[in-house]
Amino acid sequence: MVNHCKTGQNGLKQQDVVVVMVPLPAQGHLNQLLQLSRLVSSYNIPVHYVGTTTHTSQAKHRVQGWDLLAATNIYFHSFKIPPHQTPSPADSNLSNRFPSYWLPAFNASLNLTEPVSKLLHALSIMSRRVIVIHDSLMASVVQEVGVISNAESYTFHSVSAFTIFLYILEQMEKKPIEYSNVLIPDEIPSLEGCFSLEFVDFMKSQYKYHKNISGKVYNTCRVIEGDYMDLLERQSKDKGIKHWALGPFNPIKLNPEKKRSESRHSCLEWLDIQDNNSVIYVSFGTSTSMNEQEISELAGGLRKSKQKFIWVLRDANKGHVFNEVRDVGRGKLPKGYEESVKEIGLVVRDWAPQLEILAHPAIGGFMSHCGWNSCMESITMGVPIAAWPMHSDQPRNTVLITKLLKIGIVVKDWERREKLVTSGIVEGAVKRLMASKEGDEMRKRAAELGSKVRRSTGEGGVSLREFDSFIAHITSTRR
């Protein structure tokens, strides 16, 4: 799709169309836009992935399901930013678990504006068109797009279409969207406790720059959220803003021949000897640490359930992740715990290859914080979810997963988020998902939905058609 190229004096190659990805420096955001880079580059379009030196390294280090070295037309631009202090994560406040320690890195990343602007101008000289896909919370970094005649920008929303729709609905008291034919649960979790006040201010500061975008892209597909994509399109029809469901971003087929690879994580070897659908995977992402009491209750519940489990127990990404990719957690378990559960469980202390774990046939459930990246990976692999929301969009993703898609159960009730999840609650949830008729039915629904999503990315599928349409749109000769 891209014409032949030649190298100019600035070292950049002359191209027909180039795409620039600008992620927010948080793991779920970094990962989603790197996965999207893979998909765009498969159309023979050069992709320039930009970020801070450390976060670009972090994103590359944690790639799963595909060979980054084989992607010859993805170019990484790592820029230095001023040093900043990152406070340690707070564990004890159960009513607001939002990771406020993110803010120094987010604010520091806004210093990317100047180097990114220089890159955009350089690319605009060497290309017919420059397409910028930026995280919704990095809009100020790409504001120079507005003065480059052959550049246009698309906002990437890292959350579900359902979550975005609810936000818009709550802001439109006078002119509500007509949605009578779309299912909206009566009880929607409030945003109280989802964010810190500082982060709300940060979001507002970035949304001021969402004025001249050409469209919005989402890591979802119409098989999952078609109704909500339709509502978003209807809401912005008069503004001429297009909405694109380009997901799933993550690979849907993993290489089974990797079994004997030396680089394969040891937890996958353990899963190899377990029965199909017999193991629940427990992981709460990279943004929140549990305190000692929470860990003790979760540990006790998993043991009492007598169901097989693999538990990724690690601290949230802390300050050292901005200097090197090293984030081994050391959550304190009850004395002798790992020995006592060795017949049924495995505790993983470092970062784990989540996508490969979810794709393993031994996995029959996923106890998750319900971050959207994790939700999409779990849906794609056909794995039902035991939802334990912590902050941000996670409580509302829980509603989508459990009440609308009906492929999960609630472990932590958001309206009682200040209450400790006891070992009894954990035990009951694990048994319900892994050892009951209800759980079997959820597993069947999740498998069917996962199969539909995977088929949608194949020839003639709705997701592939949408992606083809997006590529045709950004590479057309319109203007």
CB 307 within 8 A of CB 343: no
Write the single-letter amino acid at 361. Answer: P
C-beta atoms surrounding 112 within 10 Å: 23
Catalytic residue among 135, 227, 327, 393: 135
Phi/psi at 283 (5° precision):
-160, 140
In DSSP terms, 408 is beta-bridged to 385
Active site residue 391: no
Report the distance separating Cα 466 and Cα 154, nearest Å: 15
Catalytic residue among 29, 48, 55, 157: 29
Could you give the C-alpha distances from 2 to 17, 68, 244, 474, in angstroms and in order? 7, 20, 22, 12
DSSP 308-358: EEEEE--PPP-GGGGTSS-------PPTTHHHHTTTTEEEE-S---HHHHH
CB 370 within 8 A of CB 401: yes
Write the single-letter amino acid at 117. Answer: S
- The label of the residue with tokens 């079997």 reads 440
Q: What is the dihedral of CA 93, 94, 98, 99, to 10 degrees?
A: 50
Report the distance separating Cα 310 and Cα 366, nearest Å: 10
Report the distance separating Cα 139 and Cα 123, nearest Å: 19
Report the distance separating Cα 217 and Cα 264, nearest Å: 33
Sign of CA dihedral 418, 287, 20, 380: negative
Tell me the catalytic residues: 29, 135
